[in-house]
Amino acid sequence: MADDFDYDLFTIGAGSGGVRASRVAAAHGARVAVAEEYRVGGTCVIRGCVPKKMLVYGANFAEDLEDAKQFGWTIEGKSFDWVKLRDSVQADVNRLEGLYGQTLSNHNVTVYDERATITGDHQVTLASGKVITARYILIATGARPMVPDFPGNEHVITSNEAFHLDAIPQRILIAGGGYIANEFAGIFNAFGSKVTIANRSNTILRGYDDSVRDRLLQISLTKGIEFCFHTEFESVEKRDDGSLRVKLTGQDARVFDVVMVATGRIPNVDGLGLETIGVATGRKGEIVVDAFSRTNLDYVYAVGDVTDRVQLTPVAIREGQAFADSVFGGVEPYAVDHSCVPSAVFSHPPIAAVGMTEAEARDTLGAIKVYQADFRPMKNVVSGCNERSLYKMIVDAANDRIVGLHMIGPEAPEIMQAAAVAVKAGLTKADFDATVAIHPTMAEELVLFK
């Protein structure tokens, strides 16, 4: 049967989910091809998590160099060269793209550097006109920034373009109050931009615990980041000098050098040919899949952001792995557990969380215990920085089990990765209490909650 098709698996999209699925399927013995119309690596590697984290590292030096003074260092003639950082980051992105390509070729996965469209049952057609058949099709096309509709929206950028700016803007308006808005607000603020965030509600980082969200808002305001809430775009006009005149609802018109929109991401399904074979999609265009990432057609699967389950790279990777093992690995099909997924926002300072927020726990469990540590990290005391960290533990009162952990403070994502193992494993507050602290650290607060 397999021999009737050109490949056992044809993957559309070589991002985190598509690459993992393709190489694992190939390792299981499948004949695999993948089509990628842009760059191998996808959003995470090319224009998301990875280059963003490098910019965050670059931005951290702004405060570190200031803090260094109280630690006895004299730093003369410091200056920041955006082009140098931008190009260093892009050089590493190129390196990683090469590694991803190598991984695929090492596994004998054929890579087509062009767009693929589904043109019939078990059939795709490449942009060059080549028609290919496959026993299974995996859609892993990811998502793209959603730009709201308003006059002048052709003048705004998204996070895609932010990595390639010629210069750091003096004044930047960032629309949205989510992950990308808060991460880039911290980055541009550190590089000297006057940053304004505008959001349609008065909520930043919806879904995170109120206490850490409030703390980030308070710290961001102290850093000089401005927030405009309950507002939407009326128009953006480009002026002769290249600056942008922005009219937001309920506000006077203002001028910015760059307007960046970070108002969520939508699944990449346009022009894929889903309707040709009748793949079912949801309200936002997302491909509807079951727990095994299978669509309504038994030979078409989808993983990652295009399914709009949890829009996070490590989740897409797990979905790709589970698909490849289940379909080609000769194991009992297994599903990815989407519960208790830890996450982080690389804001300044960063946030990390796992499990239920206090509000969710109150709604679902009723009786809970909440422990909180509100402290000024030792480094900040010496440097004279007033920023305080906040750790919060949510415990099910019925059985002492930790159901949520929320942190804002230096290195919170690094600390959370280890703590999330304990929360996922269902450990109790007593288990944490029984663990001796490592002193002096910030993380020791996790075992010292009173």
> Which residues are catalytic, by number?
439
Q: Which is nearer to ligand NDP, 262 or 420 (CB)?
A: 262
Which position among 193, 343, 357, 380 is part of the footprint of ligand NDP (CB under 6 A)?
A: 343
Per-residue burial over 278-294, b if 16 or more Cβ lie within 10 Å, else e, is: ebebeeebbbebeeebb
Which is closer to ligand NDP, CB of 294 or CB of 309? 309
Shortest reach from residue 60's CB to ligand NDP, in Å: 15
- Closest approach of Cβ 197 to ligand NDP, in Å? 9
Whether the CA torsion 192, 384, 54, 269 is positive or negative: it is: negative
Shortest distance in whole angstroms from residue 392 CB to ligand NDP: 19
DSSP letters, 201-239, are: SS-SSTTS-HHHHHHHHHHHHHHT-EEE-S--EEEEEE-
Taking the least distance from each CB to ligand NDP, the nearer of 115 and 265 is 265
Q: Which two tokens stand for residue 227?
A: 């927030």
Binding of ligand NDP at residue 15 (CB under 6 A)? no
Q: Which stretch binds ligand NDP (CB under 6 A): 22-30, 60-68, 180-188, 419-427?
A: 180-188
Q: How far apart are CA 426 and CA 63, in angstroms?
A: 37
Window 302 to 331, contacts with ligand NDP (CB under 6 A): 311-312
Identify the three-state secondary structure at position 9: strand
Residue 101 within binding range of ligand NDP, rule CB under 6 A = no
CA-to-CA distance for 192 and 415, rounded, in angstroms?
29
Per-residue tokens: 118: 């589904």
134 DSSP β-pair partners: 7
Q: Does 126 engage in binding with ligand NDP (CB under 6 A)?
A: no
The reply on whether position 40 binds ligand NDP by CB under 6 A is: no
Task: Rule CB under 6 A: say whether 199 interacts with ligand NDP.
Answer: yes
Q: Please report, as residue ranges, which positions from 348 to 367 form the binding site for ligand NDP (by CB under 6 A).
A: none
The nearest distance, CB 177 to ligand NDP, in angstroms, is: 3
Number of amino acids touching ligand NDP (CB under 6 A): 23
Return the amino acid letter for 208. Answer: Y
CA distance 287 to 285: 6
Closest C-alpha to 216, from 189, 194, 193, 191:
189
Residue 345 touching ligand NDP (CB under 6 A): yes
Cβ 86 vs Cβ 164: under 8 Å: yes
H or E element: which one contains 390? Answer: strand 389-396
Minimum distance, C-beta of residue 229 to ligand NDP, in the bound complex (Å): 9
Q: How many CA atoms lie within 13 A of 445 on its CB side?
A: 23
Taking the complex as a whole, the smallest distance from the CB of residue 338 to ligand NDP amounts, in Å, to: 13
Answer for which of 206, 238, 284, 338 binds ligand NDP (CB under 6 A) is 206
Closest residue to ligand NDP in the complex (CB): 178
- The enclosing H or E element of 394 equals strand 389-396
Helix (H) or strand (E) holding 328: helix 313-328
| 172, amino acid identity | I
**Minimal distance in Å, beta carbon 159 to ligand NDP?**
7
156 or 262, CB closer to ligand NDP? 262
Is 7 near ligand NDP (CB under 6 A)?
A: no
Binding part of the chain for ligand NDP, among 13-21, 162-170, 200-208, 426-434 by CB under 6 A, reads 200-208
d(CA 175, CA 293): 32
- 142 near ligand NDP (CB under 6 A): no
H or E element at residue 53 = helix 49-67
265 binds ligand NDP (CB under 6 A): yes
Interacting span for ligand NDP (CB under 6 A) from 73-81, 117-125, 193-201, 377-385: 193-201
Strand partners, 394: 370, 404
Is residue 267 a contact residue for ligand NDP (CB under 6 A)?
no
CB neighbour list of residue 347: distance below 8 Å, 6 or more residues apart: 182, 183, 185, 186, 216, 220
Interacting residues toward ligand NDP by CB under 6 A: 148, 176-181, 183, 199-201, 203, 206, 262-265, 311-312, 343-346
